[in-house]
């Protein structure tokens, strides 16, 4: 575990402030990652279910949960997503996740942190990234959720714990499975330490699609005695 984290940290030191917009390659003013036009085009969530962050129509009052959460309440208490997983956000996430563009973790982590700070909700005791299985981590060389979570934790001044949760068996990537097999695929995939007993935990991930992955992790955190479990993602499909 320690060895893998070291690899991840070493690689992530390559991040830098770019001269060109990540999306359109247009020239950028200082301290910006995307040009104003591209930033405007990002698909921000207008209304998300407070429980699972699924995008929906704006609800008066804004605190009603979606039908899916009413029928099948998830193991986590609430979720926040900044964007819908749609163009051009999907491109940025894929660049980070599959093409080693680690500098994007600062950009995406920055958007997530800004969103959370603006909510002004009580902060958790600890932030954890969704862990990758050792085999996947070796293959990819880094965990994009960890890279994003680092920036969020630092910005919010909340401790980051990258060792308390582990993925104990390799799973087929959820995106490669039909919807009805995704829950079973990740069930029991995680183990979490007793350090989370009585604590309020926020799980950070890049994308949430069916929600089964974070739900399986939240179930494990509950078994470890976590008091409150939130899910924070950059984008929600
Ligand atoms: Zn641009
Ligand atoms: Zn919901």
CA of 109 to the centre of ligand 1 (A): 19
User: Which of 17-26, 164-173, 223-232 ranks highest by mean pLDDT?
Assistant: 223-232
- Residue 161: name the closest of 79, 96, 224 by CA: 224
Mean pLDDT of the chain: 89
Mind listing the pLDDT tens digit for each residue in 218-234? 999 999 999 999 999 99
What's the pLDDT at 2?
44
* Cα 190 → chain centroid: 16
CA of 86 to the centre of ligand 1 (A): 16
Q: CA dist 153 to 182, 197, 206, Å? A: 29, 20, 14
Share of the chain above pLDDT 90, in %: 71
Instruction: Please give the structure tokens belonging to residue 66.
Output: 């979606």
CA of 90 to the centre of ligand 1 (A): 15
Give the right CATH number for 2-236 from 3.30.360.10, 3.20.20.70, 3.40.50.2020, 3.30.565.10.
3.40.50.2020
Report residue 43's pLDDT band, with 50, 70 and 90 as the boundaries. Answer: very high
Terminal-to-terminal C-alpha distance of the chain: 30
What's the pLDDT at 4?
46
CA of 88 to the centre of ligand 1 (A): 10
Mind listing the pLDDT tens digit for each residue in 80-113? 999 999 999 999 999 999 999 999 999 999 999 9
CA of 6 to the centre of ligand 1 (A): 33
Element (H, E) at 168: none
pLDDT at 39 over 60: yes
Q: What pTM does this model have?
A: 0.89
What are the φ/ψ torsions at residue 202 (nearest 5 degrees)?
-115, 125
What's the pLDDT at 14?
40
pLDDT at 13 over 50: no
Q: Considering every ligand atom, which ligand is closest to the CA of 37?
A: 1
Q: Considering every ligand atom, which ligand is closest to the CA of 26?
A: 1
Query: Which residue would you say has higher pLDDT here, 8 or 110?
Result: 110
Q: Considering every ligand atom, which ligand is closest to the CA of 40?
A: 1
Q: Considering every ligand atom, which ligand is closest to the CA of 32?
A: 1
Mind listing the pLDDT tens digit for each residue in 115-127? 999 998 999 999 9
Q: Are 103 and 16 in contact (CB under 8 A)?
A: yes
Report residue 57's pLDDT band, with 50, 70 and 90 as the boundaries. Answer: low
């Amino acid at each position: 575990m320690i060895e893998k984290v070291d690899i991840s940290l070493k690689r992530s030191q390559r991040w830098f402030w770019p001269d060109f917009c990540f999306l359109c390659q247009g020239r950028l003013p200082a301290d910006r990652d995307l040009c104003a036009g591209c930033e405007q085009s990002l698909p921000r969530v207008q209304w998300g279910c407070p429980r699972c962050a699924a995008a929906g129509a704006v609800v008066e009052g804004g605190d009603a949960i979606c039908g899916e959460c009413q029928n099948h309440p998830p193991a986590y208490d609430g979720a926040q997503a900044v964007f819908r997983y749609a163009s051009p956000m999907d491109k940025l996430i894929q660049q980070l996740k599959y093409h080693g563009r680690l500098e994007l973790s600062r950009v995406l982590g920055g958007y997530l942190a800004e969103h959370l700070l603006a909510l002004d909700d009580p902060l958790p005791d600890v932030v954890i990234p969704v862990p990758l299985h050792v085999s996947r981590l070796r293959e990819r060389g880094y965990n994009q959720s960890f890279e994003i979570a680092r920036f969020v934790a630092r910005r919010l001044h909340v401790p980051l714990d990258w060792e308390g949760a582990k993925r104990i068996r390799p799973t087929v990537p959820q995106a490669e499975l039909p919807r009805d097999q995704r829950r079973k695929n990740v069930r029991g995939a995680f183990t979490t330490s007793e350090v989370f007993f009585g604590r309020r935990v926020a799980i950070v991930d890049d994308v949430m699609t069916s929600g089964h992955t974070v739900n399986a992790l939240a179930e494990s955190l509950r078994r470890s005695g976590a008091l409150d479990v939130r899910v924070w993602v950059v984008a929600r499909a």
